[in-house]
Amino acid sequence: MEQTIQKTQATQATETKQTWMTGSEALLQGLLDEGVDTVFGYPGGSALYIYDAMTRNAEFKHILTRHEQGAVHAADGYARSTGKVGVCIATSGPGATNLITGIATAHMDSIPMVIITANVMTSLIGTDAFQEADIISITMPITKHSFSVRDAADIPRILHEAFYLATTGRKGPVLIDIPKDISNAKLLYETYKAEVQLRGYVSKPALDNEKIEQWLEAITEAKRPIIIAGGGIVHSNASDELIQFVNQTQVPVVATLHGLGGFPSGHELGLGMAGHHGNFAANMAIQQADLIISLGSRFDDRLTMKVDGFAPQARRIVHIDIDPAEIGKIINADIGIVGDLKDILAYASTKAKPSKAAGWMDQLRQYRSQHPLRYNDSDTEVKPQFVLEMIHEASHGDAIITTDVGQHQMWTAQFYKFNHPRSLLTSGGLGTMGFGFPAAIGAQIGNPDRLVVSINGDGGMQMCAQEMAICAVHQIPVKIVVLNNRVLGMVRQQQELMYENRLSQIDLAGSPDFVKLAEAYGLKGLRASNKEEAIAAWKEAIETPGPVLVEFMIPMDENVYPMVLGGTALDEMLLGDFE
């Protein structure tokens, strides 16, 4: 994307007086002007002017994480749960490169973020100076746009444009790199409010009424329509519009992982998650549908599995997305509509007619009744599925749940029933271990009055466990769940089922005592090894003010089912003990 941004002739803000500031002071004030209430970060030499400016700005709230990866994931969790921009700051070189996994995570999942990195002085750039890294080039494939500041006077404009880019169109992370000398240079500051225009950038495409009406006509002609609700429903705040549209058309709905909560789990036309570990009814709905309607889903491989075996009976496929590059990229679309889902669904609801899906839904309910999500429960062991059911029951489906990646992530998607959008925060695209716990911290800061539960495996929990320190320091009341099976569970399951049970490098022996680790950081720690202990421990955790870690000792050999093996189609599900 070209960096040349055109300024309109609109008058810049006259609401605030022009004030002489350093680049660092302007950065902090600009963030406040954009409505930022919390920034996560970690200082270093090149960022010290920025951190020094914080001592003179009482309004500015900064959370010192214990690792830059914790900062970027916390900002991500804040953004996912609130819908606002998440912001993090790091110093040059290793500070900036430690953000890369988190930036890629946000990029893959279309999360609005502004990442601020300090850099060495402009005179040293390109000399391989101490703690220098070309973070612009390194992150170019994983940011929506990047700015390299060369004049302190540009900071107010660049900040305003960065927030605009992060939050419009297909949302995503934007990086601003500020050399040390620029952060200390003087400028005449004024709040920047000029309209942003970027050559070739369309932030909100106009409604294509003709194509929308073609789509609605296809619904009236179909006998077995299905809606795939993707993450775009959540990103566009279109949950209410989707519910209205579904109530009007009576078309059943399956969800992607990121679509969970965008359509309430308890709705009579909801079938739950489809895909790699999707439930039987949802996967069969896709495979037997004569009309596929994808709303904000990019048809990634976890949903489609074997692409040439996907939706073989579909006579028409409708793909609606804010990003034109996604339409037709993986699955050919007979009707492709580019636009904002909130606007499209609102317009479509004024024209939509009921479908002929009543008999079709009866068939899907039968599938759901014949093959529900189930597991072999136990009183003497703690089954992970039971833990998720227990957490759901205690929270009535209203908590914000974060996960890492692996078996626990899929059990959460299957057995916790999400009532609201922005309630499941999980790394679906990049699949980042270490994401879940710091994301929960960001979510709790952004939603102080809601219960936030971080679901982790014993592997991923060790990747950002140091962030328990800030839970203790700030009394951030995240409830931390560790499902401890003492192995890399999803790797073990795949090795068992796809590699003839040749188990390699999955043993997590030597992991810490998580209860003692929590206590070392100043948190309460609890452990449960059977169902009775699990119930008591979770009750105590919920009733305890402040952060609590609960370790549930689960069976090492428990698998996630249903499962579709790589290279097979969605209707070729393994159902485990319930084949």
Residues tagged active-site:
68, 130-131, 180, 490
Three-class secondary structure of residue 76 per DSSP: helix
Distance CA 283, CA 560 (A): 16
Bond preceding residue 562 cis, omega within 30 of 0: yes
Please report, to the nearest 10 degrees, the dihedral formed by the alpha carbons of residues 427, 233, 296, 110 taken in order: -40
Q: Are 536 and 544 in contact (CB under 8 A)?
A: no
DSSP code at position 313: T
**How far is Cα 146 from Cα 144, in angstroms, rounded to an integer?**
7
How many CB atoms sit inside 10 A of residue 134's CB? Answer: 14
CB 198 within 8 A of CB 265: no
DSSP 324-357: GGGTTTSS--SEEEES-HHHHHHHHHTT----S-
The amino acid sitting at 134 is D
DSSP codes of every residue in 116-158: EEEE--GGGTTTT-TT---HHHHHGGG-SEEEE---GGGHHHH
Give the N- to C-terminal CA distance of the chain in Å, as an integer. 50
Q: Extract the tokens encoding 377.
A: 């429960």
C-alpha span between 397 and 408 (Å, rounded): 17
Structure tokens at 94: 């290793």
Q: Which of 101, 97, 90 is nearest to 48 (CA)?
A: 90
Strand partners, 147: 176
Q: In 3-state terms, what secondary structure has residue 6?
A: strand
Give me Rg for the CA atoms of the chain. 24
What three-state secondary structure class fits 487? Answer: strand
Strands lying side by side in the sheet with 291-295: 270-273, 253-255, 225-229, 291-295, 316-321, 335-338
Torsion, Cα 269 273 274 277, to 10 degrees, reads -150
DSSP 8-state symbol, 195 = P
Structure tokens at 546: 């402040």
Please tell me the distance from the alpha carbon of residue 30 to that of residue 155, in angstroms, as a whole number: 8
How many whole angstroms separate alpha carbon 308 and alpha carbon 60?
Answer: 53
Q: What does residue 128 show for φ and ψ, rounded to 5 degrees? A: 60, 45
Of 475, 438, 454, which Cα lies nearest the Cα of 391? 454
